[in-house]
Homo-oligomer: A and B are copies of this chain.
């Protein structure tokens, strides 16, 4: 239990070597594990070693039929491929566990995808299904919280017991570390993207109006810029042409070079984010805010004004540091692997992991 990434890092001595251990069977904590990040678009997976090194990896499209049977079969097939490659190419022991990260309302403790919004799953017992199909101990994680586990264990929040790890991508999610623990809340914790910052504003995919995600997700920034730019499309200097292929980073670049539509959209995103972060810091008492995901690729152009506006809003509250995420697009896979390693350490051999 002590080494679960959802728990504080162990402070005591490392585990004692077992004098009766068979050299042919590596101790569980040195065995490789597989991390899988199941997204709405891609399934990414990799073999991860105990020292954090990444071995064989694979990335393939999520099956268009997104029902749980089809997608989990694809995951099993990806895992089988990695197991085969590891056996043939890697001399560092057999893969001993599997960690799988899925978007939605994910109850890590029960191993159940309560709702996987982009995939259409409901109350899917992912841990049991994958454990039966692969014969491995399995941990199920939430995609954003898994990425946060990697950022917390290996990245920008390594030293913190009270951190808010925000991913600004297609949507906005947060992993909340409080008193040295990652909050789960039955799978519902950390939905920062659905904090209402603009009451009566644009309707969100969740049904509410004016959610943070309608202003500050990478998707929202691109959409809002395209809308504004198309209104000035008669202007030959407009950058609206080709906006369908724009990324949030492009909008940031346009804002920097003086495009007024881009500057306004970027400013709205920064303000909305500072508002939502002020609320989050007020209720969590976070000492550190880490910004990641597509929008954070803009670097200081996002982090600096968000920090300035956040600190300007706060009075008696804790004044957090605001930094950019250190881990890249691989954090989901790495976090899933960390969860898998924890499942392995918890597992009684021959039993399914908790």
User: Given A185-B162, A279-B279, A285-B187, A206 and B316 touching (CB < 8 A)?
Assistant: yes
Whether B315 pairs with A283 at a CB distance below 8 angstroms is no
What residues of chain B lie closer than 8 Å to A207, measured between beta carbons? 315-316
What residues of chain B lie closer than 8 Å to A187, measured between beta carbons? 285
What residues of chain B lie closer than 8 Å to A188, measured between beta carbons? 284-285, 317-318
What residues of chain B lie closer than 8 Å to A181, measured between beta carbons? 179, 181
Whether B285 pairs with A283 at a CB distance below 8 angstroms is no
Report the Cα distance A194→B284, complex, angstroms: 12
> How often does this chain occur in the complex, in copies?
2
Q: Which B-chain residue is minimally distant from A286 (CB atoms)?
A: B185
Q: What is the distance, in angstroms, from A204's C-beta to the closest C-beta of chain B?
A: 8
What residues of chain B lie closer than 8 Å to A83, measured between beta carbons? none
Whether A194 pairs with B162 at a CB distance below 8 angstroms is no
What residues of chain B lie closer than 8 Å to A286, measured between beta carbons? 185
Whether A285 pairs with B179 at a CB distance below 8 angstroms is no
Q: What is the distance, in angstroms, from A170's C-beta to the closest C-beta of chain B?
A: 16
Whether B178 pairs with A189 at a CB distance below 8 angstroms is yes
Whether B317 pairs with A189 at a CB distance below 8 angstroms is no
Q: What is the distance, in angstroms, from A185's C-beta to the closest C-beta of chain B?
A: 2
Q: What is the distance, in angstroms, from A212's C-beta to the closest C-beta of chain B?
A: 10
Q: What is the distance, in angstroms, from A217's C-beta to the closest C-beta of chain B?
A: 15
1/0 contact string of A112-154 vs chain B (CB within 8 Å): 0001010000000000000000000000000000000000000
Q: What is the distance, in angstroms, from A196's C-beta to the closest C-beta of chain B?
A: 7
> Does A98 lie at the interface of the complex (its beta carbon under 8 Å from any beta carbon of B)?
no
Per the CB 8 Å criterion, the residue count for chain A at the interface is 41
> Does A278 lie at the interface of the complex (its beta carbon under 8 Å from any beta carbon of B)?
yes
**Residue picked from A192, A284, A287, most chain B C-beta under 10 Å:** A284
> Does A176 lie at the interface of the complex (its beta carbon under 8 Å from any beta carbon of B)?
yes
Whether A183 pairs with B115 at a CB distance below 8 angstroms is no
Report the Cα distance A313→B194, complex, angstroms: 11
What residues of chain B lie closer than 8 Å to A284, measured between beta carbons? 183, 185, 188-189, 283
What residues of chain B lie closer than 8 Å to A176, measured between beta carbons? 283
Report the Cα distance A188→B194, complex, angstroms: 23
User: Given A162-B186, A188-B317, A282 and B179 touching (CB < 8 A)?
Assistant: no
- Of the candidates B115, B186, B195, B275, the one whose C-beta lies within 8 Å of that of A282 is B195
User: Given A179-B183, A279-B196, A208 and B105 touching (CB < 8 A)?
Assistant: no
What residues of chain B lie closer than 8 Å to A179, measured between beta carbons? 181, 183-185
Q: What is the distance, in angstroms, from A157's C-beta to the closest C-beta of chain B?
A: 15
Report the Cα distance A191→B287, complex, angstroms: 15
> Does A280 lie at the interface of the complex (its beta carbon under 8 Å from any beta carbon of B)?
yes
Q: Which B-chain residue is minimally distant from A204 (CB atoms)?
A: B315
- Of the candidates B190, B199, B282, the one whose C-beta lies within 8 Å of that of A191 is B282
Q: What are 6 residue pairs bridging A and B, where the CB atoms are less than 8 Å apart in the complex? A: A178-B178, A179-B181, A188-B318, A195-B279, A195-B283, A283-B284
Interface residues of A (CB under 8 A from B): 105, 115, 117, 162, 174, 176, 178-179, 181, 183-192, 194-196, 199, 206-208, 275, 278-280, 282-287, 313, 315-318
| Among all A-B residue pairs, the 9 with the closest Cβ atoms | A185-B285, A188-B285, A207-B315, A189-B285, A188-B318, A206-B315, A191-B282, A178-B183, A195-B279
